Amino acid sequence: MINITFPDKTVRQYEAGVTGLDIARSISEGLARNVLAASVNGEVRDAVRPIFEDAEVKFFTWNDKEGKATVWHSAAHLMAEAIEQLYPGAKFGIGPDIENGFYYDIDFGDHSISDENLQVIEERMIQLAREKQHFTRKEISKEEALEFFKKKGDEYKLELIGELEDGDITLYESGTFTDLCRGPHLPDTSPIKAVKLLKVAGAYWRGDENRKMLTRIYGITFPKQKELTAYLEMLEEAKKRDHRLLGRELEIFTFSQMVGSGLPLWLPKGAELRERLENFLKALQKKAGYQQVITPHIGKVELFKLSGHFQKYGKDSFQPIDTPIAGEQYFLKPMNCPHHCEIYKSTPKSYRDLPYRIAEFGTVYRYEQSGELHGLTRVRGFTQDDAHIFCTPEQLKDEFKGVIDIVIQIFKALDFTDFITQISLRDTGNKEKYIGSDENWEKAERRFWRWLKRAV
């Protein structure tokens, strides 16, 4: 017998090998009908996966994000099965659940897919869902996985398998479709009832613009048609408020392919709006003790190598600019930090000069991939309300609080009342991604986390 602990800390005993769905059914049939997945010792699993040891168990239904994610992940597999039947020879990349729905990246070969094809795929998905196909998890060796997808001729899955460790590979089967997948999935396809494939887009394989462009199909499902209808109505209302559409209609900004993708052109009304916003922000900064500076849009490559930015972000930036002087290269700045450091060191400073606060509305450039560009929210050239503070360790707490105070003032002025706060931490497993000593990082993370919780 094994001990199963529930969220309310009650404990029941079950036979080893019991599934989450069995446990739910032992509580009530109503609960079992609604369970979509289960957490076992913190890991979200298939509700029908056996449990062989003592565990803390929690159930997920459609009302939980984990429940929705499981439905949408399973719907991605269902869509892939429908596509494989309708377009034999299609090859599949990745098909995850996302915040709202799912997508799958697919190589259709010689077939051309557009929005007009989506209804046929939807109809086949609904037909397959009604068959109540079971999702079956299968642990498999790396050799077996390679052999399976080699025989199938799917080079995308072969590439993914090549990066996995033997003993850590699972397949999921549902109907006629088998996929490389970690799960979790639904017990069967019956909860997938109302289906809508939303759009077709292009996506480079693994986000690399030097790789093949695949077809990405986005979709979403709901347990009831009225929920899907309400969601689609919400999307239509959101389209009317799309900033790209409003920007053009209100003559605030525009884009030109002759200028370049992701490089917005601010029209007179937009320029006036920007100026008013910048003046408001400059007044706040001045009151808080910041001095305005202006730096050029470019700098020598050596500057960014010295700061480490070139090594960390050079591949995602516009490439260096050669000058008429042999060996001399300049770099479109992807951030303002190195220039501000040069301003700080331009004159001698004593401790009496600290904290030294400088701010700039500095325009920076980053070479975002074309598939990631989106109106003004993802661009290749943008102006940052950027600032840097040079201070002593003893001054750090007050300066941090001062920054948070300014942010809160701005949010209140703009009537932003619904927001969340995030703190970015280093990846301790990949030191290539950050600079500085571990000791300083640990101090900073510990202090900022404590101060942040008190400040907001």
Residue 387 has what pLDDT?
96
Residue pLDDT, tens place only, 19-39 = 999 999 999 999 999 999 999
Residue 115 has what pLDDT?
84
Which homologous superfamily is 66-240 in? Threonyl-trna Synthetase; Chain A, domain 2 (3.30.980.10)
Contact 44, 184 (CB under 8 A): yes
Average pLDDT value for residue range 416-443:
84
pLDDT-derived band at 420, boundaries 50, 70, 90? confident
Beta strands in 15-108 (DSSP E): 18-19, 37-40, 43-46, 50-51, 55-60, 91-92, 97-98, 101-107
Distance CA 447, CA 431 (A): 21
C-alpha Rg value of the chain to the nearest Å: 27
Residue pLDDT, tens place only, 216-266 = 999 999 999 999 999 999 999 988 899 999 999 999 999 999 999 999 999
Residue 455 has what pLDDT?
61
Distance CA 183, CA 244 (A): 36
Average pLDDT value for residue range 198-203:
92
Q: Could you tell me what percent of the chain has a pLDDT over 90? A: 81
Residue pLDDT, tens place only, 73-97 = 999 999 999 999 999 999 999 999 9
Q: Where are the domains of the chain?
A: 2-61, 66-240, 265-419
Mean pLDDT, the chain, rounded, equals: 93
CATH code given to domain 2-61: 3.10.20.30
Q: Which residue has the higher pLDDT, 432 or 52?
A: 52
Structure letter (DSSP) for residue 308 = T
Structure letter (DSSP) for residue 300 = E
Contact 225, 194 (CB under 8 A): yes
The one-letter amino acid at 289: G
pLDDT-derived band at 316, boundaries 50, 70, 90? confident
pLDDT of 432 higher than 80: no
Place of tokens 């347990």: 223
pLDDT of 125 higher than 90: yes
pLDDT-derived band at 447, boundaries 50, 70, 90? confident
Distance of CA 271 to the CA centre of its chain: 31
Residue pLDDT, tens place only, 335-394 = 999 999 999 999 999 999 999 999 999 999 999 887 788 999 999 999 999 999 999 989
Q: Which two tokens stand for residue 45?
A: 């699993």
Residue 42 has what pLDDT?
92
Residue 449 has what pLDDT?
83
pLDDT of 131 higher than 90: yes
pLDDT of 14 higher than 70: yes
Residue 423 has what pLDDT?
80
The one-letter amino acid at 271: A
Residue pLDDT, tens place only, 266-280 = 999 999 999 999 999
Q: Which two tokens stand for residue 5?
A: 């602990």
Q: Report helix, strand or coil for 196.
A: strand
Q: Which two tokens stand for residue 336?
A: 């303002």
Residue 434 has what pLDDT?
80
Residue 451 has what pLDDT?
82
Q: Looking at the domain covering 265-419, what would its CATH class be?
A: alpha beta
Q: Quick one: 134 exposed, middle or buried, by C-beta within 10 A (0-12, 13-18, 19+)?
A: middle
Q: Report helix, strand or coil for 181.
A: coil
Contact 378, 262 (CB under 8 A): yes
The one-letter amino acid at 375: G
Average pLDDT value for residue range 399-419:
92
Residue 265 has what pLDDT?
97
pLDDT of 438 higher than 90: no
pLDDT of 454 higher than 80: no
Residue 436 has what pLDDT?
82
Distance CA 142, CA 144 (A): 5
Residue 456 has what pLDDT?
59
Residue 184 has what pLDDT?
96
C-alpha to C-alpha distances, 376 to 112, 216, 268, nearest whole angstrom: 30, 22, 17
Residue pLDDT, tens place only, 151-175 = 999 999 999 999 999 988 999 999 9
